[in-house]
Amino acid sequence: MARTTLAGSAGPVQLTGVDFPIARGQQRITLAGASVVCTLPARTNRFILAAEGGDVRFRFNGPASATSAGYVPENGIVDIVVGNMNALFVYGAAASFANLLYFQQP
């Protein structure tokens, strides 16, 4: 169990029983109307995906397309925790970007 002390104006605050995610990496992918496989760092089981310049579609363990169920609208963000992800693919129109943050969620 994690124990973290935060400094506050009224003195330190202790949080117990809170497991914070471990940062594993980040990636910015330029999209051009084709599926792109993301580079997943080891032990990644959580990602945050922000769509920029257009909608972004995503899919686990197989190529993404314009009809993939995973969907992030332009300027939107999703935060996904998944236990069985071997690969992550993203798809978007030309001049759109997939901005990704990768984590290991305890």
DSSP one-letter string for 55-94: -EEEEESS---TT-SEEE-TT-EEEEE-SS-S-EEEEE-T
Full residue range of the structural domain in which residue 36 is found: 21-104
| Residue 79 falls inside a structural domain | yes
Copy the structure tokens of residue 101: 């943050």
Q: What is the pLDDT of residue 4?
A: 52
Residue 84 lies in a domain: yes
Q: Token pair of 3, please? A: 């124990």
For residue 25, tell me if it sits in a domain. Answer: yes
Q: Which residues of 54-89 are buried (b: 16+ CB within 10 A; e: fewer)?
A: bbbbbbbeeebeeebebebeeeeeeeeeeeebeebb
The domain tally of the chain equals 1
Would you say residue 48 lies in a domain?
A: yes
- Could you tell me the CATH number of the domain that includes residue 53? 2.60.120.770
pLDDT along the chain (106 residues), means of 10: 52 70 96 96 95 97 96 97 92 97 93
pLDDT score at 68: 97
Residue 5 lies in a domain: no
- What local confidence, expressed as pLDDT, does residue 10 receive? 61
Sheet holding 96-104, edge to edge: 22-31, 96-104, 46-52, 77-81
pLDDT in the model for residue 11: 60
pLDDT given at position 84? 85
Decide if 10 is inside a domain.
Answer: no
Query: CA–CA separation, 27 vs 16, rounded Å?
Result: 31
Look at residue 12 and tell me if it is in a domain: no
| pTM, full prediction | 0.81
Q: Report if residue 93 sits inside a domain.
A: yes
Task: Print the SS3 string covering 33-52.
Answer: CCCEECCCCCCCCEEEEEEE
